[in-house]
Structure 1
Amino acid sequence: MQKPLPYASQRQMVMASLDHLGRARDSHIQLSNAEEPTAKHSERLTYDPVGWHNFKFWYSESGEQTGSKQAWLMARGHLVGYQFSGLNDEARNLVPETAWMNSGNYSGMDEGNTASMLYYDNHLDSWLATHPNFRLDYQVTPLYAQDELIPRKVRLAYVGYDDAGKRIQIKVGGGREESGDDDATVVYLDNTSPNATINYADGTATNTVSAAPAAPAASAPAASSSAPVASSESSVAPAAQAPATTNDPTVYVTGGGSSAVYWYGTDSMPANTNKANLVQMPESQAIQQGKRHSMTER
């Protein structure tokens, strides 16, 4: 059931128990900005949610039916994100999610993709940061079809509370928001990926993008002067190729990496910043550690 938690002046985290198939069913938090976790998100996930499988699939960023890059299809997805809950390897808060729905891209992250949880988590985190005296009520519910092991959709429901306990509607944009119960805003996200067909009953999947043809091997010059010229770039990714990082920029973290925020550049940092003590890392690593983009950098 979609319904905000009653207002409280302290952090609340309520998770439904696993169902008879071992599936996570609902995760719900209410907190202020000061109650967000401060510990780094460094623990490696070891729990495999029911229905968990993973596949390294070909994909095409341009929507073609052949692709030259591969990426992992699935993620062990947190229902309520770590930046709010501080929970990592918690069965009641984990479901198999496509990387596309989880982080907005086949590989790396695209926080502008409104089909992803990353888009809403980041905007809600920013809302908390800019409303330090208010509280966020955030409920995330996987939606299954009968006894299927993989959710077909995930429902997000969020509403604010002011310091007097009055509910406040929150709108983050993106064109997917609907009106829910008790002033909440509701968003439904599809647990799909453009390069795959998923069997939601058992978690297996089929790659709908095939490998681009390999460039022809070099050979002795042909008699004809019109012999084809080999491509200067192989169109087949090596089997052990690392995921592409085009959408995972390098960011800067102050305080030797201890700061809770990160920056895309150094020009907007406060004048007293010790720039000799900056740490560089991929944005995905910073987010994994529970950090967020500085609200003062434009």
Structure 2
Amino acid sequence: MSLDNGVWQIFSDLDSLNRVGVANALIGKESFPHETIEPLSIKPTGWNQKKLSDSQWLYNRCHLVGYQLTGENNNMKNLMTGTRSFNTPHMLNYENQIMDYIRLTGNHVRYRVTPHFIGDELVARGVQMEATSVESNDFAYNVYIFNIQEGYTIDYTTGKATKN
């Protein structure tokens, strides 16, 4: 992997159902944002919001490439509907591992996030997150995170959810 072109990010075009696709990035300290995040206004596919029993919201607008890594924010190609627990702590944990590794070493990380939809479903069943250091072999992961919320059944076709 060459660093000749610096850090970058590429997002797939939305499909015929306006769903997100694969997101790719080369991340380094120079891609970290310096401004505070603006509130999100985009409603990704399957956005069928409801309150959980603890008064938290069921869904988050989930960045495929986390804001803290590149500053990419209100981009329809980078936002999907994900449950609260899917986004935080699960996706956030792996995004923070990248950020911490880069801050510690100064190295760059090649990153790819692939959402998995079945058929015409508007809410992804989960994402595959892949990361690897460019300059060394001391950092890598390949994980799958399921888009679920304990105590709720999600209709992935519509985004509607019912409490179990």
With the shorter chain as reference, the TM-score category is over 0.9
1:57 aligns with 2:13: no
Structure 1's consecutive aligned runs of 4 or more residues displaced over 4 angstroms after TM superposition are none
Give the drift of 1:29.
0.9
3-state SS of 2:55 partner: strand
- How many angstroms apart in 2 are the aligned matches of 1:207 and 1:57? 8
Contact 1:79 1:93 in 2 (8 A): yes
Give the match for residue 280 of structure 1. Answer: none
- How many angstroms apart in 1 are the aligned matches of 2:101 and 2:95? 10
Contact 2:31 2:70 in 1 (8 A): no
Quick one: which amino acid aligns to residue 12 of structure 1? W
- Cα deviation code 1:72-130 (max 9, x no counterpart): 111011010001121111000000000011012xxxxxxxxxxx011111111100001
Give the drift of 1:158.
0.3
Q: CA RMSD in A?
A: 1.3
Give the match for residue 150 of structure 2. Answer: 194
Give the drift of 1:141.
1.1
3-state SS of 1:122 partner: helix
- How many angstroms apart in 1 are the aligned matches of 2:112 and 2:2? 14
Gaps of 5+ in 2: none
Quick one: which amino acid aligns to residue 123 of structure 2? I
Quick one: which amino acid aligns to residue 15 of structure 1? F
Give the match for residue 125 of structure 1. Answer: 99
- How many angstroms apart in 2 are the aligned matches of 1:159 and 1:7? 13
Give the match for residue 73 of structure 2. Answer: 88
- Cα deviation code 1:217-250 (max 9, x no counterpart): xxxxxxxxxxxxxxxxxxxxxxxxxxxxxxxxxx
Say which structure is richer in helix: 2
- Cα deviation code 1:18-58 (max 9, x no counterpart): 011100011111022233221211x1111101111111021
Give the match for residue 75 of structure 1. Answer: 60
Quick one: which amino acid aligns to residue 109 of structure 2? L
1:45 aligns with 2:14: no
* TM-score in terms of structure 2 length: 0.94
1:33 aligns with 2:2: no
Quick one: which amino acid aligns to residue 73 of structure 1? L
Aligned residues: 163
- How many angstroms apart in 2 are the aligned matches of 1:151 and 1:130? 33
- How many angstroms apart in 1 are the aligned matches of 2:112 and 2:101? 16
Give the drift of 1:169.
4.8
Give the match for residue 161 of structure 1. Answer: 134
- How many angstroms apart in 2 are the aligned matches of 1:118 and 1:140? 13
- How many angstroms apart in 2 are the aligned matches of 1:31 and 1:53? 32
Contact 1:24 1:95 in 2 (8 A): yes
3-state SS of 2:47 partner: coil
Contact 1:153 1:188 in 2 (8 A): yes
1:144 aligns with 2:144: no
Quick one: which amino acid aligns to residue 55 of structure 2? Q
Gaps of 5+ in 1: 1-5, 59-68, 105-115, 172-184, 209-298
1:170 aligns with 2:139: yes
Q: Highest Rg: 1 or 2? A: 1
- How many angstroms apart in 2 are the aligned matches of 1:13 and 1:95? 17
